[in-house]
A and B are shown apart, each in its own frame.
Chain A
Protein backbone atom coordinates (compact mmCIF):
# COMPACT_ATOMS: atom_id res chain seq x y z
CA UNK A 1 0.00 0.00 0.00
CA UNK A 2 1.31 3.44 -0.92
CA UNK A 3 2.25 5.60 2.02
CA UNK A 4 -0.18 8.48 2.80
CA UNK A 5 1.59 11.77 3.42
CA UNK A 6 0.33 14.85 5.22
CA UNK A 7 0.07 16.63 1.86
CA UNK A 8 -2.40 13.97 0.74
CA UNK A 9 -4.67 14.79 3.65
CA UNK A 10 -4.47 18.58 3.72
CA UNK A 11 -6.54 19.35 0.65
CA UNK A 12 -9.47 21.70 0.20
CA UNK A 13 -11.85 18.81 -0.51
CA UNK A 14 -10.96 17.22 2.81
CA UNK A 15 -11.71 20.36 4.79
CA UNK A 16 -14.54 19.68 7.22
CA UNK A 17 -14.13 22.51 9.70
CA UNK A 18 -12.66 26.00 9.89
CA UNK A 19 -12.50 28.47 12.71
CA UNK A 20 -15.04 31.26 12.34
CA UNK A 21 -13.47 34.51 11.22
CA UNK A 22 -15.17 36.10 14.20
CA UNK A 23 -12.67 34.44 16.53
CA UNK A 24 -9.24 36.12 16.48
CA UNK A 25 -6.04 34.08 16.11
CA UNK A 26 -5.06 34.91 19.68
CA UNK A 27 -4.44 31.82 21.82
CA UNK A 28 -7.25 31.50 24.39
CA UNK A 29 -6.25 32.37 27.94
CA UNK A 30 -8.64 29.76 29.37
CA UNK A 31 -7.42 26.62 31.11
CA UNK A 32 -7.35 23.58 28.82
CA UNK A 33 -10.66 21.76 29.24
CA UNK A 34 -12.64 24.83 30.28
CA UNK A 35 -16.04 25.42 28.70
CA UNK A 36 -15.52 29.16 28.13
CA UNK A 37 -13.66 28.63 24.83
CA UNK A 38 -16.43 26.52 23.31
CA UNK A 39 -19.08 28.97 24.46
CA UNK A 40 -17.10 31.82 22.82
CA UNK A 41 -16.75 29.91 19.58
CA UNK A 42 -20.38 28.96 19.14
CA UNK A 43 -21.53 32.47 20.03
CA UNK A 44 -19.27 33.89 17.33
CA UNK A 45 -20.32 31.19 14.84
CA UNK A 46 -23.96 32.14 15.37
CA UNK A 47 -23.23 35.84 14.82
CA UNK A 48 -21.36 34.98 11.62
CA UNK A 49 -24.03 32.60 10.36
CA UNK A 50 -26.74 35.20 10.96
CA UNK A 51 -24.60 37.85 9.25
CA UNK A 52 -24.81 40.15 12.25
CA UNK A 53 -21.13 40.96 12.82
CA UNK A 54 -21.33 44.52 11.50
CA UNK A 55 -24.16 45.39 13.86
CA UNK A 56 -23.17 43.53 17.00
CA UNK A 57 -21.64 44.96 20.16
CA UNK A 58 -20.65 42.52 22.91
CA UNK A 59 -20.22 43.32 26.59
CA UNK A 60 -17.97 41.16 28.76
CA UNK A 61 -17.65 42.07 32.43
CA UNK A 62 -15.08 40.91 34.98
CA UNK A 63 -14.54 37.16 35.36
CA UNK A 64 -12.35 34.69 33.47
CA UNK A 65 -14.00 36.00 30.30
CA UNK A 66 -13.02 39.62 30.97
CA UNK A 67 -10.57 39.25 28.07
CA UNK A 68 -13.32 38.03 25.70
CA UNK A 69 -12.57 41.11 23.59
CA UNK A 70 -9.17 39.62 22.79
CA UNK A 71 -10.86 36.61 21.22
CA UNK A 72 -14.19 37.79 19.86
CA UNK A 73 -13.43 39.58 16.63
CA UNK A 74 -16.22 42.16 16.84
CA UNK A 75 -16.76 45.51 18.58
CA UNK A 76 -16.67 44.91 22.34
CA UNK A 77 -16.99 46.77 25.61
CA UNK A 78 -15.41 45.57 28.84
CA UNK A 79 -17.64 46.26 31.84
CA UNK A 80 -17.20 46.50 35.58
CA UNK A 81 -17.96 43.39 37.64
CA UNK A 82 -21.72 42.75 37.51
CA UNK A 83 -22.62 45.80 35.43
CA UNK A 84 -22.85 44.32 31.94
CA UNK A 85 -26.68 44.34 31.74
CA UNK A 86 -26.69 48.08 32.55
CA UNK A 87 -23.91 48.75 30.04
CA UNK A 88 -25.82 46.73 27.42
CA UNK A 89 -29.00 48.66 28.26
CA UNK A 90 -27.14 51.91 27.65
CA UNK A 91 -25.91 50.75 24.24
CA UNK A 92 -29.21 49.23 23.13
CA UNK A 93 -31.28 52.23 24.16
CA UNK A 94 -29.21 54.63 22.06
CA UNK A 95 -28.67 52.19 19.16
CA UNK A 96 -31.95 50.24 19.12
CA UNK A 97 -31.22 48.62 15.75
CA UNK A 98 -27.87 47.16 16.81
CA UNK A 99 -27.48 43.68 18.28
CA UNK A 100 -26.21 43.75 21.86
CA UNK A 101 -25.25 40.85 24.10
CA UNK A 102 -23.60 40.27 27.46
CA UNK A 103 -21.39 37.32 28.39
CA UNK A 104 -21.38 36.92 32.18
CA UNK A 105 -20.15 34.47 34.78
CA UNK A 106 -22.24 33.27 37.71
CA UNK A 107 -20.47 35.41 40.30
CA UNK A 108 -20.97 38.35 38.02
CA UNK A 109 -24.60 37.73 37.11
CA UNK A 110 -25.97 36.19 40.28
CA UNK A 111 -24.03 37.97 43.06
CA UNK A 112 -22.57 41.41 42.43
CA UNK A 113 -24.73 42.04 39.37
CA UNK A 114 -28.04 40.54 40.50
CA UNK A 115 -29.68 43.95 40.59
CA UNK A 116 -28.57 44.94 37.10
CA UNK A 117 -29.52 41.50 35.75
CA UNK A 118 -32.99 41.34 37.27
CA UNK A 119 -33.87 44.88 36.28
CA UNK A 120 -32.59 44.57 32.71
CA UNK A 121 -34.69 41.38 32.45
CA UNK A 122 -37.68 43.01 34.11
CA UNK A 123 -37.55 46.05 31.83
CA UNK A 124 -37.53 43.64 28.93
CA UNK A 125 -34.40 45.07 27.35
CA UNK A 126 -34.08 43.64 23.87
CA UNK A 127 -30.67 42.04 24.46
CA UNK A 128 -29.12 38.57 24.69
CA UNK A 129 -27.58 37.42 27.97
CA UNK A 130 -25.17 34.48 27.89
CA UNK A 131 -24.63 33.21 31.39
CA UNK A 132 -21.72 30.85 32.14
CA UNK A 133 -22.55 29.04 35.37
CA UNK A 134 -19.56 27.10 36.65
CA UNK A 135 -20.59 27.24 40.30
CA UNK A 136 -17.45 29.07 41.32
CA UNK A 137 -15.38 32.25 41.03
CA UNK A 138 -12.93 30.99 38.44
CA UNK A 139 -10.91 34.10 37.83
CA UNK A 140 -10.05 34.91 41.41
CA UNK A 141 -8.95 31.37 42.20
CA UNK A 142 -11.94 29.23 43.07
CA UNK A 143 -13.91 31.00 45.77
CA UNK A 144 -17.54 30.20 46.59
CA UNK A 145 -20.08 31.63 44.14
CA UNK A 146 -23.80 32.27 44.63
CA UNK A 147 -24.31 29.11 42.55
CA UNK A 148 -21.92 26.84 44.49
CA UNK A 149 -23.79 23.64 45.40
CA UNK A 150 -24.61 22.70 49.02
CA UNK A 151 -21.64 20.86 50.45
CA UNK A 152 -19.39 21.84 47.54
CA UNK A 153 -15.85 22.79 48.47
CA UNK A 154 -14.22 26.01 47.34
CA UNK A 155 -11.39 28.13 48.70
CA UNK A 156 -13.85 30.13 50.82
CA UNK A 157 -15.95 27.10 51.76
CA UNK A 158 -13.05 24.71 52.39
CA UNK A 159 -15.26 22.31 54.36
CA UNK A 160 -18.09 22.49 51.87
CA UNK A 161 -20.88 25.05 51.49
CA UNK A 162 -22.91 25.08 54.68
CA UNK A 163 -26.27 26.49 53.62
CA UNK A 164 -27.14 27.36 57.22
CA UNK A 165 -24.39 29.96 57.40
CA UNK A 166 -23.45 30.57 53.76
CA UNK A 167 -26.88 30.67 52.20
CA UNK A 168 -28.40 28.64 49.41
CA UNK A 169 -27.31 28.44 45.79
CA UNK A 170 -29.28 30.84 43.63
CA UNK A 171 -31.15 29.64 40.55
CA UNK A 172 -30.92 32.92 38.70
CA UNK A 173 -32.28 31.43 35.49
CA UNK A 174 -35.52 30.17 37.07
CA UNK A 175 -35.80 33.58 38.74
CA UNK A 176 -35.54 35.64 35.56
CA UNK A 177 -37.89 33.26 33.75
CA UNK A 178 -40.64 34.48 36.09
CA UNK A 179 -40.25 38.06 34.92
CA UNK A 180 -42.52 39.38 32.17
CA UNK A 181 -39.51 41.01 30.48
CA UNK A 182 -37.84 37.74 29.45
CA UNK A 183 -38.82 36.20 26.12
CA UNK A 184 -36.61 33.12 25.93
CA UNK A 185 -34.93 31.41 28.87
CA UNK A 186 -32.99 28.20 28.56
CA UNK A 187 -30.28 26.19 30.32
CA UNK A 188 -27.72 24.24 28.29
CA UNK A 189 -24.19 22.85 28.47
CA UNK A 190 -21.16 22.52 26.18
CA UNK A 191 -19.47 19.39 27.56
CA UNK A 192 -20.37 16.95 24.75
CA UNK A 193 -20.69 17.43 20.98
CA UNK A 194 -24.43 16.85 21.22
CA UNK A 195 -24.81 19.47 23.91
CA UNK A 196 -22.65 21.92 21.96
CA UNK A 197 -25.06 21.56 19.03
CA UNK A 198 -28.10 22.11 21.25
CA UNK A 199 -26.53 25.13 22.90
CA UNK A 200 -25.59 26.63 19.57
CA UNK A 201 -29.20 26.25 18.46
CA UNK A 202 -30.36 28.00 21.63
CA UNK A 203 -27.87 30.85 21.13
CA UNK A 204 -29.02 31.17 17.54
CA UNK A 205 -32.63 31.42 18.65
CA UNK A 206 -31.65 34.07 21.18
CA UNK A 207 -29.95 36.26 18.56
CA UNK A 208 -32.77 35.69 16.08
CA UNK A 209 -35.23 36.88 18.73
CA UNK A 210 -33.30 40.10 19.12
CA UNK A 211 -32.82 40.56 15.39
CA UNK A 212 -36.55 40.08 14.85
CA UNK A 213 -37.43 42.53 17.62
CA UNK A 214 -39.13 39.91 19.80
CA UNK A 215 -39.97 41.69 23.05
CA UNK A 216 -37.57 41.10 25.92
CA UNK A 217 -34.39 39.44 27.00
CA UNK A 218 -33.23 36.14 25.52
CA UNK A 219 -31.31 34.42 28.30
CA UNK A 220 -29.06 31.41 27.72
CA UNK A 221 -27.46 29.77 30.75
CA UNK A 222 -24.60 27.40 30.02
CA UNK A 223 -23.75 25.11 32.93
CA UNK A 224 -20.02 24.75 32.52
CA UNK A 225 -17.00 23.26 34.21
CA UNK A 226 -14.18 25.04 35.95
CA UNK A 227 -11.70 22.21 36.14
CA UNK A 228 -9.05 24.44 37.72
CA UNK A 229 -11.34 25.90 40.37
CA UNK A 230 -12.92 22.53 41.08
CA UNK A 231 -9.43 21.01 41.25
CA UNK A 232 -10.25 18.15 38.88
CA UNK A 233 -9.01 16.93 35.52
CA UNK A 234 -11.13 18.23 32.63
CA UNK A 235 -12.63 14.78 32.18
CA UNK A 236 -13.45 14.29 35.86
CA UNK A 237 -14.93 17.76 36.01
CA UNK A 238 -17.38 16.91 33.24
CA UNK A 239 -18.43 13.70 34.98
CA UNK A 240 -18.79 15.58 38.26
CA UNK A 241 -20.84 18.24 36.49
CA UNK A 242 -23.24 15.64 35.07
CA UNK A 243 -23.61 13.92 38.43
CA UNK A 244 -23.89 16.97 40.66
CA UNK A 245 -24.60 20.18 38.74
CA UNK A 246 -27.27 18.88 36.34
CA UNK A 247 -29.60 17.46 39.02
CA UNK A 248 -29.61 20.89 40.70
CA UNK A 249 -29.50 22.89 37.46
CA UNK A 250 -31.51 20.73 35.03
CA UNK A 251 -30.88 21.34 31.34
CA UNK A 252 -33.60 22.40 28.92
CA UNK A 253 -35.82 25.29 27.88
CA UNK A 254 -37.65 27.10 30.68
CA UNK A 255 -39.45 29.80 28.72
CA UNK A 256 -40.01 29.93 24.97
CA UNK A 257 -41.66 32.73 22.98
CA UNK A 258 -42.58 34.46 26.23
CA UNK A 259 -44.38 31.37 27.60
CA UNK A 260 -43.18 29.41 30.65
CA UNK A 261 -42.97 25.69 29.84
Chain B
Protein backbone atom coordinates (compact mmCIF):
# COMPACT_ATOMS: atom_id res chain seq x y z
CA UNK B 1 0.00 0.00 0.00
CA UNK B 2 1.12 3.53 -0.66
CA UNK B 3 2.12 5.20 2.57
CA UNK B 4 2.91 8.75 3.70
CA UNK B 5 6.05 9.07 5.81
CA UNK B 6 8.61 11.58 7.03
CA UNK B 7 11.99 10.27 5.96
CA UNK B 8 15.58 11.11 5.12
CA UNK B 9 16.45 10.89 1.43
CA UNK B 10 18.78 7.97 2.07
CA UNK B 11 16.12 6.10 4.02
CA UNK B 12 13.55 6.71 1.29
CA UNK B 13 15.98 5.25 -1.24
CA UNK B 14 16.44 2.15 0.93
CA UNK B 15 12.73 1.69 1.61
CA UNK B 16 12.01 2.13 -2.10
CA UNK B 17 14.47 -0.65 -2.93
CA UNK B 18 12.47 -3.08 -0.80
CA UNK B 19 9.19 -1.83 -2.29
CA UNK B 20 10.53 -1.98 -5.86
CA UNK B 21 10.98 -5.73 -5.42
CA UNK B 22 14.77 -5.66 -5.39
CA UNK B 23 16.38 -9.06 -4.88
CA UNK B 24 19.58 -7.78 -3.31
CA UNK B 25 21.56 -4.81 -2.09
CA UNK B 26 25.34 -4.94 -1.68
CA UNK B 27 27.05 -1.96 -0.05
CA UNK B 28 29.88 -0.50 1.98
CA UNK B 29 29.51 2.35 4.50
CA UNK B 30 30.52 5.91 3.64
CA UNK B 31 29.19 9.30 4.76
CA UNK B 32 26.80 10.83 3.70
CA UNK B 33 24.95 7.68 2.54
CA UNK B 34 25.52 5.09 5.28
CA UNK B 35 21.84 5.35 6.25
CA UNK B 36 21.00 3.31 3.16
CA UNK B 37 22.61 0.10 4.40
CA UNK B 38 21.80 0.89 8.05
CA UNK B 39 18.12 1.25 7.20
CA UNK B 40 18.13 -1.94 5.15
CA UNK B 41 19.84 -3.98 7.87
CA UNK B 42 17.42 -2.70 10.52
CA UNK B 43 14.38 -3.24 8.31
CA UNK B 44 15.13 -6.99 7.78
CA UNK B 45 13.98 -7.01 4.16
CA UNK B 46 14.77 -10.72 3.97
CA UNK B 47 11.80 -11.31 6.26
CA UNK B 48 9.62 -8.80 4.41
CA UNK B 49 10.25 -9.81 0.80
CA UNK B 50 13.19 -12.21 0.69
CA UNK B 51 15.57 -9.42 -0.36
CA UNK B 52 19.24 -10.09 0.44
CA UNK B 53 21.34 -7.34 2.08
CA UNK B 54 25.08 -7.80 2.45
CA UNK B 55 27.82 -5.51 3.70
CA UNK B 56 30.75 -6.16 1.37
CA UNK B 57 34.46 -5.79 2.15
CA UNK B 58 34.80 -2.85 -0.25
CA UNK B 59 32.95 -0.92 -2.92
CA UNK B 60 34.88 -2.97 -5.48
CA UNK B 61 33.50 -6.19 -4.03
CA UNK B 62 30.01 -4.70 -3.73
CA UNK B 63 29.79 -3.72 -7.40
CA UNK B 64 31.14 -7.11 -8.44
CA UNK B 65 28.49 -8.82 -6.32
CA UNK B 66 26.01 -6.66 -8.23
CA UNK B 67 27.60 -7.84 -11.50
CA UNK B 68 27.23 -11.50 -10.54
CA UNK B 69 23.66 -11.24 -9.27
CA UNK B 70 22.57 -9.02 -12.19
CA UNK B 71 24.15 -11.48 -14.62
CA UNK B 72 22.00 -14.15 -13.02
CA UNK B 73 18.85 -12.12 -13.81
CA UNK B 74 18.19 -10.56 -10.43
CA UNK B 75 17.17 -7.00 -9.55
CA UNK B 76 20.15 -5.64 -7.63
CA UNK B 77 21.53 -2.36 -6.44
CA UNK B 78 24.34 -0.71 -4.54
CA UNK B 79 25.02 2.81 -3.32
CA UNK B 80 27.95 4.86 -2.11
CA UNK B 81 29.39 8.37 -2.06
CA UNK B 82 32.07 9.88 -4.28
CA UNK B 83 35.30 8.09 -3.18
CA UNK B 84 33.44 4.78 -3.10
CA UNK B 85 31.87 5.45 -6.49
CA UNK B 86 35.37 5.96 -7.90
CA UNK B 87 36.23 2.45 -6.73
CA UNK B 88 33.17 1.04 -8.44
CA UNK B 89 34.08 2.38 -11.88
CA UNK B 90 35.84 -0.78 -13.05
CA UNK B 91 32.73 -2.79 -12.24
CA UNK B 92 30.39 -0.26 -13.87
CA UNK B 93 32.42 -0.43 -17.07
CA UNK B 94 32.18 -4.25 -17.06
CA UNK B 95 28.43 -4.06 -16.35
CA UNK B 96 27.98 -1.64 -19.25
CA UNK B 97 30.09 -3.86 -21.52
CA UNK B 98 28.28 -7.05 -20.55
CA UNK B 99 24.93 -5.21 -20.85
CA UNK B 100 23.61 -6.00 -17.40
CA UNK B 101 20.78 -4.16 -15.69
CA UNK B 102 21.54 -2.61 -12.32
CA UNK B 103 20.81 0.43 -10.21
CA UNK B 104 23.23 2.38 -8.07
CA UNK B 105 23.17 5.66 -6.20
CA UNK B 106 25.87 8.25 -5.57
CA UNK B 107 25.16 10.60 -2.67
CA UNK B 108 27.83 13.04 -3.77
CA UNK B 109 30.26 14.74 -1.38
CA UNK B 110 32.94 17.35 -2.02
CA UNK B 111 36.25 16.25 -3.55
CA UNK B 112 38.72 15.63 -5.03
CA UNK B 113 40.36 12.91 -2.96
CA UNK B 114 38.84 12.27 0.41
CA UNK B 115 37.46 15.81 0.16
CA UNK B 116 34.74 16.54 2.63
CA UNK B 117 31.54 14.90 3.80
CA UNK B 118 29.53 17.98 2.84
CA UNK B 119 27.30 18.03 -0.29
CA UNK B 120 28.63 18.61 -3.77
CA UNK B 121 27.74 18.09 -7.44
CA UNK B 122 31.30 17.68 -8.65
CA UNK B 123 30.83 14.11 -9.92
CA UNK B 124 28.86 15.21 -13.00
CA UNK B 125 31.66 14.46 -15.45
CA UNK B 126 32.27 11.05 -13.89
CA UNK B 127 28.56 10.25 -14.04
CA UNK B 128 27.69 11.46 -17.52
CA UNK B 129 30.90 11.07 -19.51
CA UNK B 130 31.81 7.61 -18.21
CA UNK B 131 33.88 7.31 -15.04
CA UNK B 132 35.23 3.93 -16.08
CA UNK B 133 37.07 2.93 -19.24
CA UNK B 134 35.63 2.44 -22.70
CA UNK B 135 32.88 3.94 -24.85
CA UNK B 136 29.87 3.50 -22.64
CA UNK B 137 27.00 5.50 -21.20
CA UNK B 138 24.63 5.03 -18.34
CA UNK B 139 21.25 6.57 -17.59
CA UNK B 140 21.63 9.23 -14.89
CA UNK B 141 18.60 10.33 -12.84
CA UNK B 142 18.93 13.40 -10.61
CA UNK B 143 16.41 13.53 -7.74
CA UNK B 144 15.61 16.94 -6.23
CA UNK B 145 13.48 15.72 -3.34
CA UNK B 146 13.08 12.85 -0.91
CA UNK B 147 10.03 11.87 -2.93
CA UNK B 148 12.17 11.48 -6.04
CA UNK B 149 14.79 9.51 -4.10
CA UNK B 150 12.06 6.91 -3.64
CA UNK B 151 10.34 7.15 -7.03
CA UNK B 152 13.57 7.02 -9.04
CA UNK B 153 14.44 3.65 -7.51
CA UNK B 154 11.33 2.15 -9.10
CA UNK B 155 11.81 4.08 -12.37
CA UNK B 156 15.54 3.38 -12.41
CA UNK B 157 15.05 -0.37 -12.16
CA UNK B 158 12.48 -0.23 -14.97
CA UNK B 159 14.91 1.64 -17.23
CA UNK B 160 17.79 -0.67 -16.26
CA UNK B 161 15.88 -3.76 -17.35
CA UNK B 162 14.31 -2.11 -20.38
CA UNK B 163 17.73 -1.28 -21.83
CA UNK B 164 20.01 -3.70 -19.91
CA UNK B 165 22.10 -0.80 -18.72
CA UNK B 166 23.47 0.55 -15.43
CA UNK B 167 21.27 3.35 -14.07
CA UNK B 168 22.72 5.89 -11.66
CA UNK B 169 20.71 7.94 -9.18
CA UNK B 170 22.95 11.00 -8.84
CA UNK B 171 21.99 12.56 -5.55
CA UNK B 172 24.01 14.70 -3.15
CA UNK B 173 24.53 15.19 0.56
CA UNK B 174 21.61 17.64 0.80
CA UNK B 175 19.00 15.33 -0.75
CA UNK B 176 20.41 12.27 1.02
CA UNK B 177 20.40 13.81 4.47
CA UNK B 178 17.33 16.06 4.53
CA UNK B 179 13.96 14.91 5.83
CA UNK B 180 10.78 15.43 3.88
CA UNK B 181 7.34 14.00 3.49
CA UNK B 182 7.31 11.10 1.05
CA UNK B 183 4.42 9.19 -0.45
CA UNK B 184 5.85 5.68 -0.77
CA UNK B 185 4.68 3.71 -3.78
CA UNK B 186 2.86 0.39 -3.46
CA UNK B 187 5.17 -2.60 -3.07
CA UNK B 188 5.98 -4.46 -6.28
CA UNK B 189 6.43 -8.22 -5.76
CA UNK B 190 9.84 -9.76 -6.46
CA UNK B 191 9.93 -11.93 -9.57
CA UNK B 192 9.77 -15.66 -8.97
CA UNK B 193 12.59 -17.89 -10.22
CA UNK B 194 10.37 -19.12 -13.06
CA UNK B 195 9.48 -15.58 -14.09
CA UNK B 196 13.17 -14.69 -14.21
CA UNK B 197 13.95 -17.70 -16.40
CA UNK B 198 11.12 -16.78 -18.71
CA UNK B 199 11.71 -13.02 -18.92
CA UNK B 200 15.49 -12.92 -19.17
CA UNK B 201 16.79 -15.38 -21.76
CA UNK B 202 20.30 -13.96 -21.29
CA UNK B 203 20.62 -14.62 -17.54
CA UNK B 204 22.98 -17.31 -16.26
CA UNK B 205 20.80 -19.53 -14.11
CA UNK B 206 22.21 -22.93 -15.11
CA UNK B 207 22.07 -24.40 -18.63
CA UNK B 208 18.83 -26.31 -19.19
CA UNK B 209 19.09 -29.33 -21.48
CA UNK B 210 18.14 -28.57 -25.04
CA UNK B 211 18.80 -24.85 -24.60
CA UNK B 212 21.78 -22.71 -25.52
CA UNK B 213 24.15 -22.00 -22.67
CA UNK B 214 24.38 -18.41 -21.49
CA UNK B 215 27.52 -16.37 -21.14
CA UNK B 216 27.98 -13.04 -19.43
CA UNK B 217 31.08 -11.31 -20.73
CA UNK B 218 32.42 -7.98 -21.92
CA UNK B 219 35.33 -9.59 -23.77
CA UNK B 220 35.89 -10.32 -27.45
CA UNK B 221 39.41 -10.71 -28.71
CA UNK B 222 38.16 -10.33 -32.28
CA UNK B 223 38.28 -6.56 -32.79
CA UNK B 224 35.74 -6.65 -35.60
CA UNK B 225 33.24 -8.31 -33.31
CA UNK B 226 34.12 -5.86 -30.57
CA UNK B 227 33.48 -2.97 -32.94
CA UNK B 228 30.11 -4.53 -33.79
CA UNK B 229 29.33 -4.83 -30.10
CA UNK B 230 30.21 -1.17 -29.67
CA UNK B 231 27.90 -0.25 -32.56
CA UNK B 232 25.12 -2.09 -30.76
CA UNK B 233 25.83 -0.20 -27.55
CA UNK B 234 25.86 3.12 -29.37
CA UNK B 235 22.54 2.35 -31.05
CA UNK B 236 21.08 1.67 -27.62
CA UNK B 237 22.40 4.99 -26.27
CA UNK B 238 20.91 6.77 -29.29
CA UNK B 239 17.52 5.21 -28.64
CA UNK B 240 17.73 6.25 -24.98
CA UNK B 241 18.63 9.79 -26.04
CA UNK B 242 15.57 9.91 -28.27
CA UNK B 243 13.10 8.36 -25.84
CA UNK B 244 14.09 8.83 -22.23
CA UNK B 245 14.90 12.53 -21.76
CA UNK B 246 13.23 13.96 -18.66
CA UNK B 247 13.17 17.53 -17.40
CA UNK B 248 10.87 20.04 -15.73
CA UNK B 249 10.31 23.64 -16.84
CA UNK B 250 9.35 26.09 -14.11
CA UNK B 251 8.23 29.63 -15.02
CA UNK B 252 9.86 29.32 -18.40
CA UNK B 253 6.93 30.40 -20.63
CA UNK B 254 7.69 34.11 -20.58
CA UNK B 255 11.24 33.83 -19.24
CA UNK B 256 14.15 35.83 -20.63
CA UNK B 257 16.72 34.26 -18.34
CA UNK B 258 16.97 30.58 -17.55
CA UNK B 259 18.67 28.86 -14.66
CA UNK B 260 19.72 25.34 -15.62
CA UNK B 261 20.15 23.11 -12.58
CA UNK B 262 19.54 19.64 -11.15
CA UNK B 263 19.24 18.10 -7.68
CA UNK B 264 19.59 20.40 -4.69
CA UNK B 265 20.84 23.25 -6.90
CA UNK B 266 17.51 23.14 -8.73
CA UNK B 267 15.67 23.77 -5.46
CA UNK B 268 17.94 26.70 -4.70
CA UNK B 269 17.54 28.06 -8.24
CA UNK B 270 13.77 27.74 -7.93
CA UNK B 271 13.91 30.07 -4.95
CA UNK B 272 16.16 32.39 -6.96
CA UNK B 273 13.48 32.49 -9.68
CA UNK B 274 11.03 33.80 -7.09
CA UNK B 275 13.47 36.41 -5.83
CA UNK B 276 14.19 37.49 -9.42
CA UNK B 277 10.52 37.78 -10.36
CA UNK B 278 9.90 39.88 -7.22
CA UNK B 279 12.49 42.26 -8.64
CA UNK B 280 10.85 42.25 -12.07
CA UNK B 281 13.43 39.98 -13.71
CA UNK B 282 11.75 37.37 -15.91
CA UNK B 283 13.64 34.28 -14.78
CA UNK B 284 12.74 30.60 -15.17
CA UNK B 285 14.20 27.23 -14.23
CA UNK B 286 15.12 24.39 -16.54
CA UNK B 287 15.41 21.48 -14.09
CA UNK B 288 17.26 18.49 -15.48
CA UNK B 289 15.93 15.13 -14.35
CA UNK B 290 17.99 12.96 -16.68
CA UNK B 291 21.59 14.12 -16.99
CA UNK B 292 22.19 11.39 -19.53
CA UNK B 293 20.30 11.64 -21.78
CA UNK B 294 20.71 15.43 -21.69
CA UNK B 295 17.74 17.52 -22.91
CA UNK B 296 19.80 19.24 -25.61
CA UNK B 297 17.02 19.37 -28.19
CA UNK B 298 14.59 21.20 -25.90
CA UNK B 299 17.26 23.61 -24.69
CA UNK B 300 18.23 24.55 -28.24
CA UNK B 301 14.58 24.96 -29.19
CA UNK B 302 14.00 27.39 -26.29
CA UNK B 303 17.06 29.33 -27.24
CA UNK B 304 15.45 30.90 -30.31
CA UNK B 305 12.45 32.11 -28.33
CA UNK B 306 13.58 35.33 -26.70
CA UNK B 307 15.94 33.80 -24.15
CA UNK B 308 18.73 36.25 -23.36
CA UNK B 309 20.91 33.89 -21.41
CA UNK B 310 21.33 30.64 -19.47
CA UNK B 311 23.00 30.40 -16.08
CA UNK B 312 24.15 26.88 -15.22
CA UNK B 313 23.90 26.54 -11.45
CA UNK B 314 25.76 23.59 -9.98
CA UNK B 315 27.87 22.86 -6.90
CA UNK B 316 31.02 22.38 -8.94
CA UNK B 317 33.58 24.51 -10.68
CA UNK B 318 31.63 24.12 -13.93
CA UNK B 319 30.84 20.70 -15.37
CA UNK B 320 27.19 20.56 -16.45
CA UNK B 321 27.68 24.00 -18.01
CA UNK B 322 29.68 22.34 -20.79
CA UNK B 323 26.64 20.32 -21.86
CA UNK B 324 24.47 23.46 -21.77
CA UNK B 325 26.96 25.19 -24.08
CA UNK B 326 26.99 22.20 -26.42
CA UNK B 327 23.18 22.16 -26.41
CA UNK B 328 22.57 25.81 -27.27
CA UNK B 329 25.36 25.85 -29.87
CA UNK B 330 26.31 29.44 -29.25
CA UNK B 331 22.86 30.88 -29.91
CA UNK B 332 22.66 32.35 -26.44
CA UNK B 333 24.89 33.46 -23.67
CA UNK B 334 25.81 30.68 -21.20
CA UNK B 335 27.59 31.21 -17.89
CA UNK B 336 28.30 29.10 -14.85
CA UNK B 337 27.76 29.80 -11.19
CA UNK B 338 28.35 27.54 -8.24
CA UNK B 339 30.00 27.17 -4.85
CA UNK B 340 31.90 23.94 -4.37
CA UNK B 341 34.14 21.83 -2.16
CA UNK B 342 31.21 21.23 0.20
CA UNK B 343 29.70 24.75 0.27
CA UNK B 344 26.06 25.10 -0.79
CA UNK B 345 25.17 28.35 -2.60
CA UNK B 346 22.23 30.49 -1.45
CA UNK B 347 19.35 31.70 -3.65
CA UNK B 348 20.62 35.27 -3.13
CA UNK B 349 24.07 34.34 -4.42
CA UNK B 350 22.49 32.65 -7.44
CA UNK B 351 20.39 35.71 -8.27
CA UNK B 352 23.38 37.98 -7.86
CA UNK B 353 25.32 35.78 -10.28
CA UNK B 354 22.49 36.08 -12.82
CA UNK B 355 22.53 39.83 -12.52
CA UNK B 356 26.29 40.11 -12.81
CA UNK B 357 27.23 37.38 -15.27
CA UNK B 358 24.21 37.33 -17.59
CA UNK B 359 22.15 40.51 -17.30
CA UNK B 360 24.93 42.96 -16.53
CA UNK B 361 27.77 41.04 -18.15
Hey, which chain A residues are within 8 Å of B90, CB to CB? 80
Contact indicator A77/B68 (Cβ below 8 Å): yes
Look across to chain B and name the residue whose beta carbon is closest to the beta carbon of A93: B52
Hey, which chain B residues are within 8 Å of A66, CB to CB? 219
Q: Mark A54-98, 1 if CB is under 8 A from B, else 0.
A: 111101000000110100011111111001001111110111001
Number of B residues with CB within 8 Å of any CB on chain A = 41
Which residues of chain B (48-78) have a CB below 8 Å from chain A?
52, 54, 56-58, 60-62, 64-72, 74, 76
Please report the C-alpha to C-alpha distance between residue A80 and residue B67 in the assembled complex, in whole angstroms.
10
Contact indicator B219/A86 (Cβ below 8 Å): no
A253 within 8 A of B: no
Hey, which chain A residues are within 8 Å of B299, CB to CB? none
Given the known inter-chain contacts A80-B94, A86-B65, please indicate yes or no for A57 contacting B204, CB distance below 8 A: yes
Given the known inter-chain contacts A76-B215, A77-B68, please indicate yes or no for A94 contacting B61, CB distance below 8 A: no
Hey, which chain A residues are within 8 Å of B68, CB to CB? 59, 77, 79, 86-91
B23 within 8 A of A: yes
Contact indicator B213/A74 (Cβ below 8 Å): yes
A116 within 8 A of B: yes
Look across to chain B and name the residue whose beta carbon is closest to the beta carbon of A69: B215
Please report the C-alpha to C-alpha distance between residue A86 and residue B213 in the assembled complex, in whole angstroms.
22
> Which residue in B58, B91, B193, B207 is a CB contact (below 8 Å) of A73?
B207
Hey, which chain B residues are within 8 Å of A57, CB to CB? 72, 204-206
Given the known inter-chain contacts A78-B218, A94-B69, A116-B64, please indicate yes or no for A54 contacting B206, CB distance below 8 A: yes
Q: How far is the CB of B131 from chain A (nearest CB, A)?
A: 15
Contact indicator A86/B61 (Cβ below 8 Å): yes
Look across to chain A and name the residue whose beta carbon is closest to the beta carbon of B52: A93
B209 within 8 A of A: yes
A53 within 8 A of B: yes
Hey, which chain B residues are within 8 Å of A88, CB to CB? 68
Q: How far is the CB of A115 from chain B (nearest CB, A)?
A: 6
> Which residue in A75, A87, A93, A94 is a CB contact (below 8 Å) of B214?
A75
A–B complex contacts, Cβ < 8 Å, 11 sampled: A54-B206, A56-B206, A56-B207, A73-B207, A77-B68, A77-B204, A86-B62, A86-B67, A87-B65, A91-B68, A115-B57
Which 8 interchain pairs have the tightest Cβ spacing?
A90-B68, A90-B65, A86-B64, A87-B68, A78-B217, A90-B69, A75-B204, A119-B57
